[in-house]
Amino acid sequence: MEPMKFRLCVAALLATALTSTAASREVAVTIDDLPTASVLGNDLDAAQQTTEALLAALTRNNVPAIGFVNESKLRVGGQIDPRRVALLSQWLDAGLELGNHTFSHVDFHSTPLDVYERQVLDGEKVTSQLLQGRGKRIRYFRHPFLHAGRSAPERQRFEEFLKQHGYIVAPITIDNYDYVFAAAYDRAGARHDVTAQGTIADAYISYMEAVTAYYERQSVAIVGREVRQTLLIHASALNAATLDRLASMFRIRGYRFISLDRALEDPAYRHADGYYGPAGITWLHRWAMTDGKPGTIFAGEPDVPAWIEQASR
Ligand SMILES: [Zn+2]
């Protein structure tokens, strides 16, 4: 074989190998703080626009996402607002799943267990009813702040409670600071600064790609392979505006979008979580801590640019 042809051949083989490795990547998209999350407050028009754009993009990109609800946001002056309940119906109409994120986004680490459990029950009322009307039931629970308990007995008691009420804990592997970018984006929007919003959106997509690459490497370092990833993002105007770009970033990296059900079938998620520290961290790092991996394993997480931090305040 001529050297040139040989090189081409090797290049072709490599390309095939890369494509087939990459094509096997899978990610479940989980979206928190429904109906919507904004630092500007709970404005109905904005919530409707965000929901509409987010759901349209999820549908366009065939993303079988799950949304985690804070039902306190359905209330105005203590009364349930049917227009806000309608936002949740839109999620279900789009064929997406809804889970429980506590009634008012309380912190497991600073809330007595009985109050926290009450928050779970208060947080499922409307969502359960909507699901029931469609012959479905609520199945997943996501801890606010990813705070999953400071001691083994406390976590065990709570997980027993969840089981009794038919819940599965929804872990995540790809953690990130999307909400810091989202805050900067909301504030730029309030100033009608479209240019700044565009710059923030660009920085967000670059950041998310770096984060995704980081957790691909972390997965290999901690589990020995790339697991079916679970991404956490929030129901923000930023994600509504950039979901097409976010989805194509994942597709270009060889991902296909899967349900949370399918992600959790990956045996990696059966790993014990022996982390009881104060931080809200990815399950990948919980598994690493449980296995006694050295602290150096956490190095290299992409930073949020300082100007984004500044603009978020
Ligand atoms: Zn949350």
* CA 271 to ligand 1 center in whole angstroms: 24
Range in 21-25, 76-80, 223-227 with the lowest mean pLDDT = 21-25
> Exposed e or buried b for every residue in 166-188, given b needs 16+ CB within 10 A?
ebebbbbbbbbbbbbbbbbbbbb
| Structure confidence by residue, pLDDT tens digits, 74-130 | 999 999 999 999 999 999 999 999 999 999 999 999 999 999 999 999 999 999 999
* CA 32 to ligand 1 center in whole angstroms: 5
pLDDT at 6: 45
Contacts of 7 (CB under 8 A, 6+ apart): none
Q: How far apart are CA 84 and CA 63, in angstroms?
A: 23
DSSP label at residue 174: B
| Structure confidence by residue, pLDDT tens digits, 127-151 | 999 999 999 999 999 999 999 999 9
* CA 250 to ligand 1 center in whole angstroms: 23
* CA 123 to ligand 1 center in whole angstroms: 13
* CA 107 to ligand 1 center in whole angstroms: 10
pLDDT at 108: 98
* CA 13 to ligand 1 center in whole angstroms: 44
* CA 104 to ligand 1 center in whole angstroms: 9
* CA 101 to ligand 1 center in whole angstroms: 7
* CA 125 to ligand 1 center in whole angstroms: 18
